[in-house]
Amino acid sequence: MFKRSSGVLAHVTSLPSPHGVGTMGKTARDFVDFLAAAHQTYWQVLPLGHTGFGDSPYQCFSAAAGNPYLIDMDLLVEDGLLTADEVRQGDFDASPDTADFEQLADTRWPLFRKAYSRVTPEMREKIAAFTEKNSEWLPDYALFMALKEEKYHHMPVYMWPDKDVRDRKPAALEKVTAELRDEVDFRIFLQYIFFKQWTALREYANEKGIQIIGDIPIYVSADSSDVWTHPKLFKLKPDRSPKLVAGVPPDYYSATGQLWGNPVYNWAAHKAENYAWWIWRMKSNMALFDVVRLDHFRGFAAYWEVGADEETAINGKWRKGPGMELFNAIEKALGPVPLIAEDLGVQTDEVKELLEESGFPGMRVLIFGFTPDYDNEHLPHNYKPNSIVYTSTHDSQTVCEQIMDICSEPEKQFAYRYLRTSHAEAMGWSAIKCVWASSANIAMTTLQDLLSLGADSRMNTPATIGGKNWRWRVRAEALNPTVSSMLGEITKTYMRG
């Protein structure tokens, strides 16, 4: 059972930085200091993985590898791998409000390669130890990325022309590993740096009394080292392209459902291996985070399976998931793991029973409650203690956008009454007070709601790709002592910190 507490959701990329994207450097520590000053317990981040097409942290090249763009350039200067002048010359005219991933793709990699060229013998020994410690996934991931980016010109794995490499024939792998040895080592170096910086940041946060909530996407990308390395664990065609893909049926977000394109799991194969891959995945994440959110929890009870050739998610079918058998296997291997279940959307009795049996806290979101319906589970008077509740989420409108731009007039008036909002108080603060006062053990707000921001600050719009998704950033001046003091007072008033 989690204690009464609170926190803020903000992805690392959204933090201030002079180098075009939030990173694991000084401004991340400044954000930790901001949370500590506000008497918070949690900092929640989105998945930290190496992002692919669309820059979504939920579509990554590996279930374990970190995103190189989160590497802090100034820390590389401190390590003697770059000079301050080189970093300045590699910078671009970055907006403080958005992450420009295209510019990062053009400017970061030359600096990364320069840093790699300066690795000392002492560091090589540390990298070798890091590689050995992560031998379950790191060499395969590094080879996958070297093949993808250098040999096959960014083609997805199922389009690789060399069938023996695609099918992981030992002789073929030995040959390309030797051919691409330096490229493989370069990518191992980047992961060493990523995990070194993240470990230091997490230790700093923990020392300040801040725990980090991480996020595990239920699925992995079709174009990932995981699918390439473990094809039997997914429902694939002979060429390793998806045969059946994941999504959700028509819902609140989309009239045609959401077609994610991720290959669905072959749960029978996972069961035959006693869920070893999932145990490894959970162990890897618990080495990074203090608490883990399980994205799309309902997929563990039953999941929506769609033919890979379908254009929408409408023509799918529900299939039975692994249920408690998976979580029992994880607990048997690792002991009790602090997990949060993202159980949003239409929930069946089957999903509710799984949540109850697991004991994991489920999620509720205030902005989904602005209907004058007493029984709406997203209204704070209906929150259960064993839950984690949010003002809004990274996938939704902000509080201000929902009330001002989305709600009907009756819903808007109800929201005003329920939140007891006045013109003297920013709407985000009214929402935070309302959620903080609830009986839920964990209360969370997004950074956008903390600052009472509107539609321009939305992090992601589900069922869309590209555009403004995943790009929002906060300005440094917004994270000031006045804001932290106000949040701290609310947190103390409602006895959460």
Residues classed as catalytic? 295, 342, 395
257 φψ region: left (φ > 0), alpha (ψ -120 to 50), beta (else): left
Task: Please report, as a single letter, which amino acid is at residue 393.
Answer: T
Shortest CA distance to 381 belongs to which of 430, 337, 439, 429? 439
Query: Is the Cβ–Cβ distance between 490 and 436 less than 8 Å?
Result: yes
Distance CA 194, CA 204 (A): 15
Structure-block tokens of residue 252: 């609140």
CA 474 to mean position of chain CA atoms = 18
Distance CA 318, CA 67 (A): 33
According to DSSP, the β-strands at 5-9 and 316-320 are unpaired
Structure-block tokens of residue 22: 């939030």
> CA geometry: angle at 192 spanning 329 and 336, to 5°?
20
Q: Which residues pair with 442 in a beta bridge?
A: 5, 388
CA atoms within 13 A on the CB side of 88: 3
101's CB contacts (< 8 A; 6+ apart) are: 21, 55, 69, 470, 471
Looking at residue 208, the DSSP 8-state letter turns out to be T
Distance CA 395, CA 251 (A): 14
> CA geometry: angle at 138 spanning 134 and 142, to 5°?
160
Distance CA 314, CA 440 (A): 35
Structure-block tokens of residue 422: 């006045």
CA atoms within 13 A on the CB side of 335: 1
